[in-house]
Amino acid sequence: MLQAASASIEADAYWANAEETRIRIDTKTTFQLNMLGNYAIAYILTSDGLKGTGSEWNQKNSYSGTSDSDPDMQYWCSQPSYVSGVVFNRVAVAAWQPLYGVEGSVDSDIKAGVPQTYSFFADINGNTIIQDKAKLKMITLLLNADTGGFINAAQTTINAYDPAVIDEPCFTAQQIIERYRLDGQKINTPQRGINIIRMKDGTIKKVVVK
């Protein structure tokens, strides 16, 4: 039976440094109902086009020696029990809190139709599995943090590094008290360009809204 998701999630990702060892992911989640709940966002980095030599790259083939009328399967039926030279797509090469999500990534006091924004920085420095950074995709998962159940998901490519982007700690929209433009004019919603925000803890941050 088809059932509508209780919340949507949108994501945008881009390189956070010129060396392409750090990824920033901006998410926006919107729930359909007012509620109190323990929800969180998890992050999984996948890659297409992975390939290599040696037995560790061989694909086990359980269809070897069988028959199948499907043209796509006939190739595998005619191949040995282990196949070399396979190119692997949609392979998870890194993950951040994939089971129950990042704590604090979704505010527990949920208002229907009010978007929650969150920024997360993922470090891939030293990751030896990645072969071609142009073939990476970031998957964001909205989870029930108590059960690990999936609510919704989004996938995005990694956009180019923009030196105008200013790093800032992760925060949710509910932690913001006031927002201003660079000229000091107070604004009620994010505006494209650099925004200055004052947080509930009294700190001031500069963020870039794309």
Q: Which two tokens stand for residue 187?
A: 């604004």
Report pTM: 0.77
Question: Range(s) for CATH 2.60.40.10 in the chain?
Answer: 1-51+87-162
Contact at 8 Å (CB) between 198 and 178? Answer: yes
Contact at 8 Å (CB) between 119 and 167? Answer: no
pLDDT per residue over 71-90, tens digit each? Answer: 889 999 999 999 999 999 99
Q: Which two tokens stand for residue 148?
A: 């690990």
pLDDT per residue over 123-179, tens digit each? Answer: 999 999 999 999 999 999 999 999 999 999 999 999 998 765 655 555 666 678 888
**CATH code of the domain made up of 1-51+87-162:** 2.60.40.10
Whole-angstrom Cα distance, residue 4 to residue 153?
13
Whole-angstrom Cα distance, residue 56 to residue 64?
19
